[in-house]
Structure formats: structure tokens, C-alpha cells
Amino acid sequence: MMGIFGDLNAVSMIMMLLFIQLTVGIIRGLYRYHMIEKYQYNYYGDPPMNFLRKLAHNWLNCVFSSTTLLISAFLTIMVFLFSNV
């Protein structure tokens, strides 16, 4: 039975959304880390963090933000719409 997006079902859409959410979150987290290091010298000052804790902090802030969710939802819809063309 063909769904609204062809032969793709809801489980594959949810898995694709989660994968894109994590990927976009990682990219935004790395960009956030770079901008903080570039412009805000003492952002991580108290308590001092090592490199991995800084990346994890930025990644978690970006993965669970509404902007990342909107970007991921848009990209997921675009992937599924254009995968049947």
C-alpha cells in the first residue's frame, strides 16, 4: 500500500528525522563552539572545561533547540518529497 510519500512508511521517516536532527545538531554545535572560542574569551571559565566537555555542551544545546528541530523537519520533508522524483 502506497502512503503519502510513496512506498516510505512512518518508521523510516522518523528514523530519517532523528538522523538529520543529530547531524544538524553536530554541525550547529561545532559552529557554536567555534564562534564562542572566537568572540567570547571567558565563556567556559567557571568551571574550566576540557575540549570534549566543551563540544558536548555545545552539541547538547544545539540538538535540543527548536531551530534545529525546524531545520531537521524541513530537510526530512524535502528528502522524502524529492526521493520519489
What are the domain boundaries of the chain? 10-82
Find out whether 68 and 61 touch, Cβ atoms under 8 Å. no
Query: What's the confidence (pLDDT) of residue 1?
Result: 45
CA distance 66 to 42: 26
The pLDDT, as a whole number, for residue 7 is: 55
pLDDT at 63: 86
pLDDT (0 to 100) of residue 4: 54
Per-residue confidence (pLDDT) for residue 72, from 0 to 100: 92
pLDDT at residue 29, rounded to an integer:
87
Rounded to whole angstroms, how far apart are CA atoms 31 and 51? 14
Could you list the pLDDT tens digit for every one of the 85 residues in the chain?
455 555 557 778 888 889 999 999 989 988 888 888 888 777 776 777 788 888 888 888 888 888 888 999 999 888 888 876 5
CA distance 10 to 66: 22
